[in-house]
Amino acid sequence: MSRIGVFTCHCGENIGATVDCGKVAECSRSIPGVVHSVDYKYMCSDPGQGMIKEAIKEHGLTGVVVAACSPRMHEPTFRNAVAEAGLNPYLCEMANLREHCSWVHEKGEVTTEKAADLVRVMVEKVKHNQPLHPIRVPVTKRALVLGGGIAGIQAALDIADAGHKVVLVEKSPSIGGHMSQLSETFPTLDCSQCILTPRMVEAARHPNITLMTYAELEKLEGFIGNFKATIRRKARKLDEKLCTGCGLCIQKCPQKKIPDEFNEGLGQRTAIYVPFPQAVPNKPVIDTANCTFFKSGKCKVCEKMCPTGAIRYDQEDELVTLDVGALVLATGFKVMRTDKFPEYGYGQDPDILDGLQFERLASASGPTLGVMKRPSDGKEPETVVFLACSGSRDRAKGVPYCSKICCMYTAKHAMLYRHKVHHGKAVVFYMDIRSGGKDYDEFVRRAIEEDDVQYVRGRVSKIHREDGKLVVKGADTLQGGAPVEIRADMVVLATAVQSQDGSEELAQKLHVSYDPYHFFAESHPKLKPVETNTAGIFLAGACQAPRDIPETVAQASGAAAKVAALFARDELTREPVVAVVNRLPAPTFSYCVGCFLCQSACPYQAIEQEEIKGRDGSVLKVVARVNAGLCQGCGTCVATCRTKAIDIQGFSNEQIYAELMTL
Amino acid sequence: MDLTTRSRELLEGGAVKAVIGYEAGRRGGIRPAFVKEAAKAAALVFDGRCTQNLAAYLTRREVKRMGRVALVAAPDTLRALLQLMAERQVKEEDVLALAVAPDGAVTELPTAAAVEEHLAVTAKELKAEDRALLARLDAMTREERWAFWQKELSRCVKCYACRNACPMCYCGHCTMDCNRPQWVPVASHALGNLEYHMVRAMHLAGRCVECGDCGRACPVGIPVHLMAFHCQESVHAQFGQRAGTSAKLDYALSTFRPDDKETFIR
Amino acid sequence: MAFEPKITAFVCNWCTYAGADLTGTSRIKYQPNVRVLRLPCTGRIDFMLLAKAFARGADGIIVSGCHPNDCHYTSGNYHARRRWMVYRDLMDFMGIDTRRVTFSWVSAAEGARWAQLVDEVTATVRELGPYEDYKELALAGVE
Amino acid sequence: MRIGYYPGCSLLGSSREFDESVRAVMGALGVELVQVPDWNCCGASSAHVLDAALAAALPARILAQAAAAGLDEVLAPCAACYNRLVSAQDSIAKDPRLAKEVEEAVGAPAGRVKVLNVLEVLDRLRPEIQARIQAPYARKVACYYGCLLVRPPRVVKFDRPEDPRSMDLLAAAAGATPVEWPFKTECCGASFSVTRTDLVAKLSGRVLEGAVKAGAEAVLVACPMCQSNLDMRRPEINARLGRDLEIPVLYITQALGLALGLEPEKLGLQRHFVPALARV
């Protein structure tokens, strides 16, 4: 027999002014099963909580209803209080008299009646509550960081410095990411590689960090604290242990005409290559699609040249399985390519570049060694036009969002160009200048005022080539939309920042949500910016949204702090609001008939198949089982189950039915 | 090869433990037959009168215990067989479907793929009388439909013949049997009857192969099958899939498309 | 006494319940006819609950959760939406008055929208009057 | 092949040679053109800036007439007519209220007749064209599409909006060598032809100059307005450019007709202001 206590709170005037709390307490006293009902000014205060604890002991309560504010506000408070009095905390429920009643209705009998109804509903629910116990899961104290750009490097270093093991997985042959391609960085114009490469080396040398470059995540199973990740280590065709990185193979490789990804196609590389001289690890890979030996069966120059005999043509991809407790996603971004711009010639003109290509052109380690030469003929460009918002904020291009970094890097580009070509003319077409950030606007002003970059507010409708020049046609909206035509030698499109290729597939592999543009979705836009909706998977950098370097680094450290906090514990406890499949004695075993139609309803793949075996080992029945570590308690499976075999703790069929039948 | 000869071979060779088919019953009727001995295979018949969906027997414990069986199957039986495979109630290797052509020739369909292929050429079509009644209901006002069903369901005695006849009603523990909480009242009164039939229809949405056996089983002649048909047609119209078309069919109500159209949601 | 409809609302914890909390915090007033039942997710809302709400004498029902894409559990609302698409069809087929059932998305940020929704539904159902058909039926269940 | 035919006003007047050459080429390729009975003005140039309902109703009536005559597809060679017909269909499809209004005005629903431009129809016939070439039109040509055939892309859904290809492929089929040039869809000045000849001279002048610079010996068009502006306004253009450009402007159907061995007079080549006959 239930012995329920009802505690009605006035919340000062908040409830008391519109609801007759005394009457609510009195009505509640007459509900069958209620043995104690009081009202008090502030239930959440110390004396208020004391009243609840006292009553539990004095009346031997088996359930508590606190009629006060929203459970989203004070449920933990009252459940703790109840637990302190020795009652299972999950035997306490709250009736929401404040947000759902007193604050939204006028003072009067109807409102008091509604308040009494709300209490009655919760009393009937709590009668069907079961004592529940937090779920404990162990934690594997090793993190997996996906993506070896600055976000991944920073996150890995911070986690490693906190004393935990990290595996840093990067899909290309070297860590470094986009930042390693940049020439100089805004707003300080310090050389990107000079500040990045020490961190790359640090990551490689850190005793807690294992680097896996030229590798990708194949599969992820498990749940927070207990993930099992399968990594595909792509075949470098090289024994990394033997290779000393001397580079002889690269020098002698006869295949030298392959467009160089690191230089964004502006340079060429060999078939056996390291992406750039400062690569970490400094171990080459063989690009089998372009290698003469792999294409024709003849060559093997690299094998002949290698002083340590490290070349392995027959090496295969290798699958490695890792137990990890947390993941940091730091897979970065890509930029829209110029071929997406029909109005600017479908990417056919070699002198129309995207921002990353310009970075390589301006970089001291780039294909021109930092000398301004336009790609078509190697001449020094005398007029360069920069187009901000190329593709961004443009619904027709499918990118309605702002790419965030372009205003700043366009100013930087124009500035770098002016520093290198003193007599050159730099023109920027822009929509707005968005330069929020420390020292950012000052930087843009410097470009305009000190470096004489001409800023034209307007869009460019067309670029075509005429008499060896690129004719850039636009409008100057500050001059009443007057047509502007500039004959340029080179055009740089600040193309949109987009989610990395394969983001959608990766998100689905990991069961994290993503936005319509395939950027990974944070758990809460303001309060949980580095968490995903999947516990134990965190976000860092531009895989979530366009970001600049300082923001990326800050977020990476944030994600690392979350991982470190998770790893500070040996065990995790989770709310026991999870689904459970009922179990019965033989021969029924469970109401579950094993149709598993609930399986696809589960957003977390938490429903497994369990074989119930007889003494002889034969399978008697296959039924569903919920992995409590994976289950997040949405209850979609419950509504799907025809036999009512599956139910959810805390919101069980009996509880909800009892609530409904009270109305 | 005809049904009897083939059945005899299958039983003699031990390829199957039983042939589930039809035989002549009393007064010129037809009844299901479970032939376990080759000698009795001669009793098997297959003609237009053989409408009962024999797939309903496949999930019975007694049949499951037999081992591999051959199943004399009309198209709806085959659909039910595929749906049962999709719902993991029947294993591909446990059933050999025997489709009988009008001339008596037997086609053996040993795999799900073979069944799917066989069915792919026969489009599912509702019977003219069912279509007519559905159209009539569709043309009614809401109030008329309410009155129609109230009148029909007032005859329901909750004998569960419809549930027993249905190949998809294999749940050991039906929602109707659930008493904690007692979702649906046990007694056969207006509320319980409506709730029972709506639950059944919803539970068949996306799963019903539209064989109509539930309606034929009803002793008081309620067109109970139309409720399931309606749900099934709703699933087909909105999500573009039919139950019993593939042994790997995803359940329409536990899958989704983000762009499912939501005209009525505010 | 004038007819006051009884409205039962099934809402998810993360969006609509939180949205209704915000209505309170913002002190936006609305009709007191609604009784809210909190569930973790719209995916948890069994169609049977809607049937039982009518059986218990509800004149109107609100079912509300997170907007598409916003589900706390990623996809519970998508599953719920499919279920409702079919169940609403079935209700209509059986002659149940679907004007009395309102499906809606109300996010945690839409406090004003929740108030507006409750007011609109209350007004609509008040106009429709008590759900006599179902009440008669429910009486049969009492015996 | 049997296809509906909507000539529109230009093809009866200022651009008779377009009508003549379309009919000649289609005849040579065995296509039967069935004129839409009792057709009316498409509303081009003015209706759509004055009255949205009228701009939809005029094309709707044409299409209703076509549907009533049992036609599934209608060829509208004039690019302006084509654009109006397609745009009206689009706005009617998107706006049920407009659809109702138009249906009341016309007395019949707009129907589902597919509207095709001349390049679309010829593109289907490319294999036949290639097979019947008798006198390859072996010249360097600049294919000039103008604006109406490809814009707005979401409505007309034809070819690549900024760098269309279909005419180039047809010209190549006729034995010509299409040049790469940046003015394929540049504005010719269109209906300013009458009111602001100075603007037309400037805009069309750039187009022509571009074609010449790219090495073209002829400009090919598929729009009466492009043709008149580049051809009829040549004196103004030349005056403005201070040059004496003599490059002829042919309809794609005229070039194809020549390649198919049809007589120049049948293709209306004698009607041009800038002598085309002498140079073909």
Cis amide leading into B181 (omega within 30): yes
Say yes or no: C79 contacts chain A, CB-CB below 8 A. yes
**Among residues 312-371 of chain A, which lie with CB inside 8 Å of chain C?**
none
Neighbour count for residue A93 (Cβ, 10 Å) = 26
Contact A52, A7 (CB under 8 A): yes
Output the six-digit token pair for A546: 């366009």
Which residue of D159, D162, D187 is the best one to mutate when testing the A interface, meaning the one whose CB has the most A CBs within 10 A?
A: D162
Contact B21, B31 (CB under 8 A): no
Give the distance, in angstroms, between the CA of residue A433 and the centroid of all CA atoms in the same chain. 28
B225 vs A306: CA distance, rounded Å: 77
> So what's the pLDDT on residue B266?
81
Q: Which residues contact C57 (CB under 8 A, 6 or more apart)?
A: A663, C6, C131, C134, C135, C138
* Amino acid occupying residue D42: C
Q: What is the mean pLDDT of residues A19-44?
A: 96
Contact A173, A214 (CB under 8 A): yes
C68 pLDDT higher than 80: yes
Give the pLDDT confidence of A328-339 residue by residue, as tens digits. Answer: 999 999 999 999
A338 vs A356: CA distance, rounded Å: 11
DSSP per-residue string spanning A577-596: --EEE---STTT--S--S--
Nearest to D228 by CA among D9, D5, D4: D9
Q: How large is the angle between the packed helices D16-28 and D252-259, nearest 10 degrees?
A: 40
Output the six-digit token pair for C39: 């569930």
3-state secondary structure chain B: CEHHHHHHHHHHHCCCCEEEEEEECHHHCEEEEEECCHHHHHHEECCCCCCCCHHHHHHCHHHHHHCCEEEEECHHHHHHHHHHHHCCCCCHHHEEEEEECCCCEEEEECCHHHHHHHHHCCCCCCCHHHHHHHHHHHHCCHHHHHHHHHHHHCCCCCCCHHHHHCCCCCCCCCHHHCCCCCCCCCCCCHHHHHHHHHHHHHHHCCCCCCCCHHHHHCCCCCCCHHHHHHHHHHHHHHHCCCCCCCCCCCCHHHCCCCCCCCCCEC
Cis amide leading into A275 (omega within 30): no
Strand partners, A384: A426, A490
- Per DSSP, A238 falls in state B
> So what's the pLDDT on residue C141?
59
- Beta carbons of C44 and A653 less than 8 Å apart: no
Instruction: Report residue C69's pLDDT band, with 50, 70 and 90 as the boundaries.
Output: confident
> So what's the pLDDT on residue D26?
95
A359 vs A336: CA distance, rounded Å: 15
Computed on alpha carbons and rounded to an integer, the radius of gyration of chain A in Å comes to: 32
Contact A176, A549 (CB under 8 A): no
DSSP per-residue string spanning C39-89: ES-GGG--HHHHHHHHHTT-SEEEEEEPPTT--TTSSHHHHHHHHHHHHHH
Share of chain B above pLDDT 90, in %: 85
Could you identify the residue written with the tokens 């997996």? Answer: A144
Given phi > 0 = left and psi -120 to 50 = alpha, else beta, which region is A202?
A: alpha
Give the pLDDT confidence of B28-74 residue by residue, as tens digits. Answer: 889 999 999 999 999 999 988 899 999 999 999 999 999 999 999 99
A239 pLDDT higher than 60: yes
Indicate the length of chain C as a whole number. 143
A433 vs B157: CA distance, rounded Å: 76
Give the distance from residue D155's alpha carbon to the nearest chain A alpha carbon, in angstroms.
Answer: 13
Half-sphere exposure of C130 (CA within 13 A, CB side): 11
CA distances from A235 to A204, A279, A290, A300, D37 (A): 20, 18, 15, 17, 70
* Alpha-carbon dihedral sign for residues D26, D30, D31, D34: positive
A525 pLDDT higher than 90: no
Print pLDDT tens along chain D (280 aa): 899 999 999 999 889 999 999 999 999 999 999 999 999 999 987 888 889 899 999 999 999 999 999 999 999 999 999 999 999 999 998 888 999 999 999 888 877 899 999 999 999 999 999 999 999 999 999 999 999 999 898 899 898 888 899 999 999 999 999 998 989 998 998 878 788 889 999 999 999 999 999 999 999 999 999 999 999 999 999 999 999 999 999 999 999 999 999 999 999 999 999 988 765 4
Strand partners, D116: D75
A138 vs A569: CA distance, rounded Å: 9
C109 pLDDT higher than 90: no
Give the distance from residue C54's alpha carbon to the nearest chain A alpha carbon, in angstroms.
Answer: 10
Which residue of B254, B256, B257, B259 is the best one to mutate when testing the A interface, meaning the one whose CB has the most A CBs within 10 A?
A: B254
- Beta carbons of A466 and D182 less than 8 Å apart: yes
Q: Where are the beta strands (DSSP E) in A26-62?
A: 34-40
Q: Which chains touch D (3 or more CB pairs under 8 A)?
A: A
Longest dimension (CA), chain B: 66
* Amino acid occupying residue A584: L
B148 vs D16: CA distance, rounded Å: 69
Q: In degrees, to the nearest 5, what angle opens at C-alpha A535 toward C-alphas A533 and A537?
A: 85
Using DSSP, state whether A223 is helix, strand or coil: strand
Contacts of A623 in chain B (CB under 8 A): none
* Alpha-carbon dihedral sign for residues A407, A412, A417, A423: positive
Output the six-digit token pair for B243: 């139950």
Give the distance, in angstroms, between the CA of residue A119 and the centroid of all CA atoms in the same chain. 41
> Comparing A145-149, B103-107, C7-11, C124-128, which segment has the lowest mean pLDDT?
B103-107
* B216 CB burial (10 A radius; 0-12, 13-18, 19+): middle
Which residue of A352, A394, A462, A469 is the best one to mutate when testing the D interface, meaning the one whose CB has the most D CBs within 10 A?
A: A462
Give the pLDDT confidence of A60-102 residue by residue, as tens digits. Answer: 999 999 999 999 889 999 999 999 999 999 999 999 999 999 9
- Beta carbons of A342 and D161 less than 8 Å apart: yes
Contacts of A651 in chain C (CB under 8 A): 39-40, 44
- Per DSSP, A360 falls in state H
Q: How large is the angle between the packed helices C76-94 and B142-153, nearest 10 degrees?
A: 80
Say yes or no: A114 contacts chain C, CB-CB below 8 A. yes
Q: What is the mean pLDDT of residues A212-236?
A: 93
Q: Which residues contact B85 (CB under 8 A, 6 or more apart)?
A: B91, B92, B112, B247
> So what's the pLDDT on residue C143?
46
Q: C27-62 burial string, b = 16+ CB within 10 Å, else e?
A: ebebbbbbbbbbbbbbbbbbbbbbbbbbbbebbbbb
Backbone angles phi, psi at A41, to 5 degrees: -60, -55
**Of D162, D183, D213, Cβ closest to residue A342:** D162
Q: Which helix (H) or strand (E) holds D225?
A: helix D224-231
> So what's the pLDDT on residue A662?
94
Give the distance, in angstroms, between the CA of residue A401 and the centroid of all CA atoms in the same chain. 18
Output the six-digit token pair for D110: 């707009």
DSSP per-residue string spanning A112-181: HHHHHHHHHHHHHHHHT------EEEE---EEEEE--SHHHHHHHHHHHHTT-EEEEE-SSSSB-TGGGG
Q: Which residues contact D153 (CB under 8 A, 6 or more apart)?
A: D161
- Beta carbons of C95 and B149 less than 8 Å apart: yes
Contact A538, A531 (CB under 8 A): yes
Give the pLDDT confidence of A373-418 residue by residue, as tens digits. Answer: 999 999 999 999 999 999 999 998 999 999 999 999 999 999 999 9
C142 pLDDT higher than 60: no
**Among residues 430-469 of chain A, which lie with CB inside 8 Å of chain C?**
none
Contact A143, A326 (CB under 8 A): yes
CA distances from C94 to A2, B136, B147, B192, B228 (A): 40, 13, 9, 14, 11
Half-sphere exposure of D165 (CA within 13 A, CB side): 4
Give the distance from residue B201's alpha carbon to the nearest chain C alpha carbon, in angstroms.
Answer: 8
Say yes or no: D163 contacts chain A, CB-CB below 8 A. yes
Contact D113, D191 (CB under 8 A): no
- Beta carbons of D210 and A342 less than 8 Å apart: no
* Alpha-carbon dihedral sign for residues B208, B209, B212, B214: negative
- Beta carbons of D162 and A343 less than 8 Å apart: yes
Output the six-digit token pair for B109: 């369909």
What's chain A's average pLDDT? 95
Contacts of C82 in chain A (CB under 8 A): none
**CB-defined contacts A:D, below 8 A:** 18
Q: How large is the angle between the packed helices C132-142 and C47-55, nearest 10 degrees?
A: 90
> So what's the pLDDT on residue D279?
52
Say yes or no: A98 contacts chain C, CB-CB below 8 A. yes
Say yes or no: C15 contacts chain A, CB-CB below 8 A. no
Instruction: Report residue A632's pLDDT band, with 50, 70 and 90 as the boundaries.
Output: confident
Say yes or no: C96 contacts chain B, CB-CB below 8 A. yes
A262 vs A365: CA distance, rounded Å: 11
Q: In degrees, to the nearest 5, what angle opens at C-alpha D220 toward C-alphas D214 and D222?
A: 140
Contacts of C27 in chain A (CB under 8 A): 103-104
